[in-house]
């Protein structure tokens, strides 16, 4: 028997069971489509009920915020009225305050002070009797008599000092729910109703103007009243259309969402799906008979060839198929060819994405690790610098006092040597600040062109003659707020790295420009000073580039590099509220970009190598012989006008208290000592007569120097405040507060205190 005949017999043999299977499949699809449709309707109902609940919670949040108003707790109803009126207008509602007896105290729809009647005709009193008054209550829909519209109310208790003193109510038009219904764009055949507890319609998708405020059918209301969870049931709409309805409960308010779909619409979708499946299966059966005849002659060879192509496809190879003249077989084959190409493309794309994801993950992990290292290093160096600054402050003050009292030239020379040593130690602790926290007293708003010129002087001496320096500074660069020492040090470190990357010499290019409305990586859009330092050196591989900003990472031989150069520049940029990015190509060089935010204040008049802006000038002269009634020998003339002025000196370090306190007394000040912020606050609150407050910032206890300065500015605004800082993690942004960086110069302090107390 020929293969074609065998195929025909096989097809005929399969027809009867195939038709039976098709019928069962149609019935199954019909049933599953009905279940699917009910699940989709149920999910839609639940989602819409949650959407209404979210809207209710939003308005409850407004009420809770108003109920917690300090003005209401303090009895300032006029101020509370203004707050409530603005909040209610923003929510398209009206806020009403009732006392516990139900008397209206204020209504944002009426002018403040207007006599008000009792409660609006809602069922809130009945709900309070049934559910209590210590929770949020939502009334049912009612007809507002004044506006002749349907509203509902939400009430929260107002608790003052642990007791309920008032009831705050937000009256809302049901239109807010109508807008929610309209935004959902339900199918036109659906009827969606939002009802209150009594079955009164608050919003409706179809003809809301006619039905809002109307009660549902009695039988439907009984079902909704008895339901405890989501239910399906058959009913009729108010206009008599048979429907399949889903009722969902709105959480917290016990309102209901009723989705009604016409019964014909409910049956239509499963019937269409079943009919489509039946047609497809019938078509397949017909095609099977025809295919049996058509494939009988030419099916074997192409099928075998397809088998070989499938084997190549399984191996991931691209299939070079040649047509065989059988359309179905060729169609399958071409799809296999396209599939093989797509598989190869997808494989390449997947590999590319995996590589990108791995690279992004490594970069993110590197950035996180770098940040953790810098943070740990910052905490360590900040703590060390703080303690060293206190020690250096004691040494500085003691040496200055010793210099004032010494008369022998040899002794004076020894003291000057000690002073220079202390100055070097001060510079070293200042460099520790590049990894530590904010050193407020050393921040300066500088002219960027002048600061770059200063740094360029250091760079020329450091890179040597083999390196040609090329600069491109845009005229009129914006000022920036930085620590000048760290600015110079950052550029110097970058220049030294560039020099070491070009052992045979090369070109070092330093550029600066204004970047308006820029958005550097990780920073908000704004105006920035953009610095670029680039070289023609050996560059870095991706592996080295990924770790280049890590503290203590270096590729230089032992003893020739600390691994802190790039890390210091990165930390400096971050401390200045900017950022640093690094780009490098092996064999082509490295580019470092620094973005510093534009300072909107004027640049300081002092050059970068002088004490930073915000640190007062030192007195220019000292007296060699004290005249009667003047300051002791060696102290500045500025102290003389303030002889007898009382200084409240707040310092937790005993050595600093002893040295600086003695110096202030020697200058003619009456000094009162406080060992921390709490003690200083207590002295001021007891009415201690002081003319100026001179305080450290970082102190143990709950009151820092910044907190103390803010308290003085608030309660005693005429009392001058001077703060001293080594390193702190908080910025000082209190107007009129003078800031000194530790260790400060004794003459500088006495001159500043003298001027401030003299003005008073």
Name the 3-class secondary structure at 525.
coil
- Cα distances (angstroms) measured from residue 719 to each of 91, 435, 639: 46, 35, 18
Alpha helices by DSSP H, 548-607:
565-575
Q: In whole angstroms, what is the distance from residue 675 CA to residue 591 CA?
A: 50
Long-range contacts of 518-522 (CB under 8 A, 24+ apart): 518/595, 520/578, 520/579, 520/581, 520/593, 520/595, 521/579, 521/581, 522/579
Q: In whole angstroms, what is the distance from residue 140 CA to residue 210 CA?
A: 19
The DSSP call for residue 479 is P
Angle at 512 between CA 508 and CA 516, to 5 degrees: 150
Say which range, 6-20, 479-493, 621-635, 640-654, has the weakest mean pLDDT.
621-635
The DSSP call for residue 465 is S
| Predicted confidence (pLDDT) at residue 9 exceeds the cutoff of 90 | no
Q: With cut-offs at 50, 70 and 90, classify the pLDDT of residue 372.
A: low
Name the 3-class secondary structure at 702.
coil
Q: In whole angstroms, what is the distance from residue 135 CA to residue 340 CA?
A: 65
Please write the tens of the pLDDT for every residue from 93-117: 899 999 888 888 898 988 988 888 7
Inter-axis angle of helices 677-685 and 705-715, to 10 degrees?
Answer: 20
Angle at 116 between CA 77 and CA 146, to 5 degrees: 125
Element holding 740 (H helix, E strand): strand 738-741
Dihedral pair phi/psi, residue 448, rounded to 5°: -60, -40
**Looking at the DSSP assignment, which residues form a beta bridge with residue 648?**
672, 693
Kindly state the percentage of the chain with pLDDT values over 70: 75
Say which range, 3-7, 71-75, 326-330, has the weakest mean pLDDT.
3-7
Q: With cut-offs at 50, 70 and 90, classify the pLDDT of residue 615.
A: very low
Inter-axis angle of helices 654-666 and 746-759, to 10 degrees?
Answer: 60
Pair 676, 700: CB distance under 8 Å: yes
**704-715: b (≥16 Cβ within 10 Å) or e:** bbbbbbbbbeee
Closest of 668, 662, 637, 653 to residue 743, by C-alpha: 653
Burial of 724 (0-12, 13-18, 19+ CB in 10 A): buried
**Looking at the DSSP assignment, which residues form a beta bridge with residue 244?**
234, 261
Q: What is the CA radius of gyration of the chain?
A: 41
Alpha helices by DSSP H, 299-321:
300-314
For 511, residues 6+ apart whose C-beta sits below 8 A from its C-beta are 471, 472, 473, 531, 532, 534
Say which range, 51-55, 211-215, 516-520, 555-559, has the weakest mean pLDDT.
555-559
Q: Which two tokens stand for residue 662?
A: 């003695």
| Predicted confidence (pLDDT) at residue 157 exceeds the cutoff of 90 | yes
Cα 586 vs. chain centroid, distance in angstroms? 36
290 compared with 349, residue with greater pLDDT: 349
Please write the tens of the pLDDT for every residue from 624-656: 333 333 334 344 444 344 457 899 999 888 888
What's the mean pLDDT when you consider all of the chain? Answer: 79
pLDDT for the residue 740: 83
Name the 3-class secondary structure at 670.
strand
pLDDT for the residue 267: 75
Phi-psi region of 213 (alpha: psi -120 to 50; beta: other; left: phi over 0): left
**HSE (side-chain half, CA atoms, 13 Å) at 152:** 26
Please write the tens of the pLDDT for every residue from 339-364: 777 887 887 888 888 887 786 666 56
CA dihedral 113, 114, 117, 122 (to 10 degrees): -80
**HSE (side-chain half, CA atoms, 13 Å) at 69:** 22
For 693, residues 6+ apart whose C-beta sits below 8 A from its C-beta are 647, 648, 650, 680, 684, 708, 709, 712, 719, 720, 721, 722
Q: In whole angstroms, what is the distance from residue 139 CA to residue 255 CA?
A: 10
Closest of 150, 156, 204, 157 to residue 173, by C-alpha: 150
Mean pLDDT value of segment 259-286: 76
626 compared with 559, residue with greater pLDDT: 559
Q: Which two tokens stand for residue 51?
A: 């959407």
Please write the tens of the pLDDT for every residue from 184-194: 888 888 889 99
Task: Domains for the chain: give ranges and CATH numbers.
Answer: 58-170 (3.30.450.20), 304-436 (1.10.287), 444-597 (3.30.565.10), 637-759 (3.40.50.2300)
Pair 578, 522: CB distance under 8 Å: no
pLDDT for the residue 138: 93
Burial of 304 (0-12, 13-18, 19+ CB in 10 A): exposed
pLDDT for the residue 452: 92
Q: In whole angstroms, what is the distance from residue 177 CA to residue 192 CA?
A: 12
Please write the tens of the pLDDT for every residue from 726-741: 665 556 678 878 888 7
């Amino acid at each position: 028997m020929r293969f074609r005949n065998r195929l025909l017999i096989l097809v005929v043999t399969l027809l009867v069971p195939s038709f039976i299977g098709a019928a069962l499949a149609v019935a199954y699809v019909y049933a599953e489509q009905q279940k699917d449709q009910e699940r989709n309707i149920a999910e839609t109902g639940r989602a819409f009920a949650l959407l209404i609940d979210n809207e209710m919670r939003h308005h409850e949040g407004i009420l809770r915020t108003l109920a917690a108003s300090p003005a209401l707790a303090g009895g300032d109803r006029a101020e509370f009225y203004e707050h409530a009126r603005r909040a209610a207008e923003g929510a398209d509602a009206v806020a009403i305050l009732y006392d516990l007896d139900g008397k209206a105290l204020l209504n944002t729809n009426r002018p403040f002070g207007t006599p008000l009647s009792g409660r609006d005709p809602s069922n809130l009193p009945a709900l309070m009797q049934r559910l209590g008054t210590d929770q949020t209550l939502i009334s049912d829909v009612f007809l507002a008599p004044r506006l002749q519209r349907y509203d509902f109310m939400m009430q929260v208790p107002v608790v003052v000092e642990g007791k309920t003193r008032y009831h705050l109510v937000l009256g809302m038009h049901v239109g807010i729910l109508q807008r929610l219904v309209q935004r959902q764009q339900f199918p036109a055949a659906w009827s969606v109703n939002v009802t209150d507890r009594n079955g009164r319609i608050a919003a409706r998708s179809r003809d809301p103007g006619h039905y809002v405020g109307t009660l549902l059918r009695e039988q439907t209301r009984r079902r909704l009243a008895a339901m405890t969870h989501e239910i399906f049931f058959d009913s009729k709409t108010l206009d008599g259309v048979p429907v399949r309805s889903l009722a969902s409960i709105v959480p917290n308010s016990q309102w209901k969402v009723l989705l009604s779909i016409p019964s014909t619409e409910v049956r239509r979708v499963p019937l269409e799906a079943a009919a489509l499946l039946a047609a497809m299966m019938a078509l397949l059966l017909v095609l099977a008979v025809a295919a049996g005849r058509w494939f009988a002659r030419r099916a074997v060879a192409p099928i075998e060839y397809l088998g070989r192509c499938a084997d190549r496809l399984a191996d991931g190879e691209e299939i070079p198929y040649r047509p065989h003249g059988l359309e179905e077989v060729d169609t399958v084959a071409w799809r296999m060819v396209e599939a093989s190409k797509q598989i190869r493309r997808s494989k390449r794309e997947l590999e590319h994405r995996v590589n990108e994801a791995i690279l992004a993950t490594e970069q993110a992990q590197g950035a996180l690790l770098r940040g953790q290292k810098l943070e740990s290093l910052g905490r360590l160096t900040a703590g060390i610098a703080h303690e060293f600054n206190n020690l250096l402050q004691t040494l500085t003050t003691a040496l200055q006092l010793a210099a004032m009292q010494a008369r022998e030239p040899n002794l004076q020379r020894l003291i000057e040597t000690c002073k220079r040593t202390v100055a070097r130690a001060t510079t070293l602790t200042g460099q520790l600040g590049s990894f530590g926290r904010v050193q407020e007293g050393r921040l300066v708003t500088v002219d960027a062109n002048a600061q770059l010129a200063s740094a360029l002087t250091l760079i020329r001496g450091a890179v040597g003659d083999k390196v040609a320096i090329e600069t491109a500074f845009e005229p009129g660069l914006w000022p920036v707020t930085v620590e000048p020492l760290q600015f110079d040090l950052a550029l110097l470190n970058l220049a030294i790295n560039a020099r070491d990357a070009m052992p045979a010499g090369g070109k070092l290019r330093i550029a600066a420009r204004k970047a308006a409305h820029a958005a550097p990586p990780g920073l908000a859009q704004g105006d920035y000073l953009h610095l670029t330092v680039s070289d023609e050196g050996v560059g870095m591989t991706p592996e080295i580039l990924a770790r280049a900003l890590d503290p203590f990472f270096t590729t230089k031989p032992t003893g020739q590099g600390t691994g802190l150069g790039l890390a210091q520049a990165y930390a400096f940029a971050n401390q200045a509220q900017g950022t640093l990015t690094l780009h490098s190509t092996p064999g082509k060089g490295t580019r470092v970009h620094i973005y510093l935010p534009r300072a909107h204040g004027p640049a300081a008049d002092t050059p970068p190598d002088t004490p930073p802006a915000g640190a007062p000038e030192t007195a220019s002269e000292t007296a060699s012989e004290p005249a009667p009634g003047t300051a002791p020998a060696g102290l500045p003339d500025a102290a003389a006008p303030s002889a007898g002025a009382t200084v409240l000196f707040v310092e937790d370090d005993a050595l600093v208290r002893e040295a600086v306190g003695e110096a202030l007394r020697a200058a003619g000040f009456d000094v009162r000592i406080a060992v921390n912020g709490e003690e200083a606050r207590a002295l001021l609150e007891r009415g201690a007569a002081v003319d100026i407050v001179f305080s450290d910032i970082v102190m143990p206890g709950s009151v820092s120097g910044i907190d103390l300065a803010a308290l003085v500015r608030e309660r005693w605004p005429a009392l001058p405040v001077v703060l001293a800082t080594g390193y702190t993690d908080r910025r000082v942004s209190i107007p009129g507060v003078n800031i000194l960086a530790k260790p400060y110069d004794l003459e500088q302090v006495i001159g500043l205190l003298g001027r401030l107390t003299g003005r008073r």
